[in-house]
């Protein structure tokens, strides 16, 4: 019989699978429809689809540092898995599970690109503010990191997070 904790982790994995699939499908569509094409303007002067192969991070930082990004992603994913396994099976932690699943999905989506191509496929561009071109995985990581910060600052107390630091007793 599968325990509730195991069921919750399976739900986390299913959510992550769906999110990663959505990211990879949008990137595939970007390659097929946008590569070597002029930007596709959705809202003149505001938003467009523009293909970019990004071997760095946001704002063009750390170009060509694939091993750094792969290692950093793996470390973050290990931490996320540790937290998800340690989180008590209580309803108040549902937001934390969902948030961490989104962050992990974004990290995995971009990690797949870095391993397969040595770059990340970006294609969403807010021309109105000249924001760096980004992708769906970036949205997952950015918005979920903001949500995680809000959860840690305003929702969960220090005692709610003690599970991260207390050793579980052996049965």
Helix H or strand E segment including 54: strand 47-54
User: What separation, in Å, do the N-terminal and C-terminal C-alpha atoms of the chain show?
Assistant: 18
Tracing tokens 């929702």 back to the chain, one arrives at: 155
Q: Which of 12, 113, 122, 160 is catalytic?
A: 122
Q: Is 118 a catalytic residue?
A: no
Helix H or strand E segment including 167: none
- Whole-number Cα distances in Å, 88 to 66, 97, 121, 147, 164: 35, 10, 36, 19, 10
Q: Which of 23, 118, 138, 160 is catalytic?
A: 138
The residues that are catalytic are 122, 138
């Amino acid at each position: 019989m599968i325990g509730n904790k195991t069921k919750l982790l399976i739900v986390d994995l299913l959510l992550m699978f769906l999110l990663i699939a959505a990211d990879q499908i949008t990137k595939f569509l970007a390659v097929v429809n946008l590569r070597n094409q002029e930007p596709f303007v959705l809202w003149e002067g505001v938003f467009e689809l523009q293909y970019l192969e990004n071997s760095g991070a946001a704002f063009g930082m750390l170009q060509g540092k694939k091993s750094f990004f792969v290692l950093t992603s793996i470390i973050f994913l290990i931490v996320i898995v540790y937290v998800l396994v340690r989180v008590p099976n209580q309803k108040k932690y549902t937001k934390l599970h969902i948030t961490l699943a989104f962050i992990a999905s974004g990290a995995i989506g971009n990690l797949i690109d870095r391993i397969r191509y040595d770059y990340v496929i970006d294609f969403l561009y807010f021309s109105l503010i000249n924001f760096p071109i980004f992708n769906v995985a970036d949205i997952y990581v950015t918005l979920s990191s903001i949500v995680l910060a809000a959860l840690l600052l305003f929702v969960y107390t220090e005692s709610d997070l003690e599970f991260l630091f207390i050793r579980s007793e052996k049965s």
